[in-house]
Amino acid sequence: MLLKLNNAHQEHKDKSLIINTELVLSFFEGTNEAGEEVVFIFGVHGNTWQVSNTIDEIMAMAKV
């Protein structure tokens, strides 16, 4: 399943980010380098993404 999320990384802030849920290992709340509360998504190949969506929003999109 593909999820359309809001990128929170400073270089790509507020741009859309498409994540393939089959490649997601975990996600967790945290604070990024700019001091903003974000959700970090950790991929199975070591990739990490920052999104401004909440965990609840992500779970609802994934229908979990």
Residue 28 sits at φ, ψ, to 5 deg, of -155, 155
pLDDT for residue 37: 97
pLDDT for residue 14: 86
The reported pTM is 0.89
Q: Which DSSP symbol is given to 51? A: E
pLDDT for residue 40: 98
**CA torsion, ordered 19, 52, 27, 22, to nearest 10 deg:** -10
* pLDDT per residue of the chain (64 residues) written in tens, 0 to 9: 999 999 999 999 989 999 999 999 999 999 999 999 999 999 999 999 999 999 999 999 998 7
43 beta partners:
24
pLDDT for residue 61: 95
